[in-house]
Every structure is written in C-alpha cells, then in structure tokens.
Amino acid sequence: MPELTVVDAAPLGVFGGTFDPVHLGHLRLAEEAADALGLVKVRWVPAGQPALRQTPKVSPAQRLEMVRLAIAGNPRFELDACEVEAAQPSYTVPTLERLRLPNTCGAARPIVLLVGADAFSGMVGWHRWTSLFDLAHVAVAHRPGFPIVAASLPPALADTYRERYSEDPGVLRAAPGGRIVSFAMTQLDISATKVRALLSQGLSTRYLVPDSSAAYIAAHQLYSEN
Ligand code: ATP
C-alpha cells in the first residue's frame, strides 16, 4: 500500500489473535471497530505459535484458513499470513515493526491495534510491550466479564492507560500511534474456549462460528475428541 501523509491517512486496524477457532465475537469486534474508529481496513493477523499460551489444538495453517474463510467477501477485512508463515513464536511488536516498513504501511499512517479488554489487561506480559506505543495506538473493545478500569489493571499498565487514554477516537488520526481508546461493541459472550468445548462434546456451534469456518471444521474433523 502506498505511503500517505498523516493528514489524509485513515487509520489501519490490526487485529491479532490465536483464532482457535475464529468466532462471531471476533468478527463483530473487527466490524464494529472499523465503524467506531473510522478504520480504512482491518488487517487480521493470526498468530503462528502464540508466545504466551499453550500450543493451539489445530495447526497454524488451519487457523489461518478458517480466518480466510470467515472474512472472505468483507471488503474492509484483509488477511496477514506473516506470523503463521514465520514458523517461530509470534510477538506483536515485531509484527508492527514489519507493518511500519515503507513497502507495507509506512511510518505515517496511524495504526490501531485492536484488542479485547481481557487481552489488554494482559499486555504487560507481552514481549517489549512498552515499545508498542511507539508503533501504534491501542483500541480496547469491551468484553463481557472484563471491565476496563484503571484500578484493576497491573500498575505499570494502569499508569500507561491514564497517561495515554482518550475518550475521543479522533485522536487516532492525529498521530501514527501512542494513544489508547476504548469502544463499545455488541456484547457477545463467545470465546474460542467455549467453541472448542462444544465441539469436543459433539454439540452445535451454529450461530457462534461463521458457517464457512464451521464447514471447514466439520470437513477436517477439528476439535473433536476422537
Ligand atoms: P480463547 O478462549 O482460546 O482464549 P478468544 O475467544 O479469547 O480465545 P483469541 O483468538 O484469543 O480468542 O482473541 C483474539 C482477540 O479477540 C483478543 O484481543 C480477545 O480479547 C478478543 N476477543 C475474543 N472474543 C471476544 C469477544 N467475545 N468479545 C470481545 N473481544 C473478544
């Protein structure tokens, strides 16, 4: 994508996750973020080998394919396979550094990293997490069971939150990164953990997982206990 000046560059959303599997909570988060924050696109970045959690139940290539199927046909969504193809642990800061290269997003365009409220509170455990704000803004999606309250965040993150938080999503256009905003989304108490549990019991995940991904799961017999 050609490099633009900050003035005419709408922010690019970046949405990372394990997506094990992708579900409608993820899709609504990305769709509502695009509207609420005025994002030109949302770039989905499935993790290869997630650094901070157990090895996913299915292969990185299969998780990538389920996301590809889920976002197909949405002109605001695009897929970034780099973390999956890297075949090494996935870290957010190096991914953002890659996006900042001139031949991808460049230095000027605002980048907004989209995270759910649970992932945000765990950010202090991320590799080089403080460097993140040199590279991108962070937009925190409300998630059932995870209120966004400075007092309940780890101290280092609470300080960062107070210092960088704005109630005005307009700040996202004013600089390439460095601010934190939050946004309300349709509250969907769906998690990949719950989806995996249903599948392992042979129960329906209809209306929790997009049909295209569900068909892929069925065809490849993923997440079943057998
Ligand atoms: P798991 O249950 O396996 O931990 P998950 O459902 O949280 O998975 P991830 O792939 O870990 O899914 O999440 C990717 C991102 O999406 C994270 O930032 C997470 O906070 C966010 N997210 C996932 N589900 C929801 C939801 N229902 N509402 C809001 N945010 C969500």
The minimum-distance atom of ligand 1 relative to the CA of 187 is 28
Out of 22, 58, 66, 118, mutate this one to test ligand 1's pocket (max ligand atoms within 8 Å of CB): namely 118
Q: pTM above 0.85?
A: yes
Q: Is the CB of 70 under 6 A from ligand 1?
A: no
Which residue carries 């992708």 as its tokens? 22
Q: Domain residue spans in the chain?
A: 12-188
The closest alpha carbon to 24, from 217, 222, 223, 211, belongs to: 211
Whether 179 contacts 135, CB under 8 Å? no
Taking the C-alpha atoms of residue 187 and residue 126, their distance in angstroms, rounded to an integer, is 26
User: pLDDT truncated to tens, each residue of the chain (226 aa)?
Assistant: 444 444 458 999 999 999 999 999 999 999 999 999 999 999 999 998 766 666 656 899 999 999 999 999 999 999 999 999 986 788 999 999 999 999 899 999 999 999 999 999 999 999 999 999 999 999 999 988 888 888 889 999 999 999 999 999 999 999 999 999 999 999 999 999 999 999 999 999 999 999 999 999 999 999 997 6
Q: What CATH superfamily is the domain 12-188? A: HUPs (3.40.50.620)
The closest alpha carbon to 30, from 114, 139, 123, 140, belongs to: 114
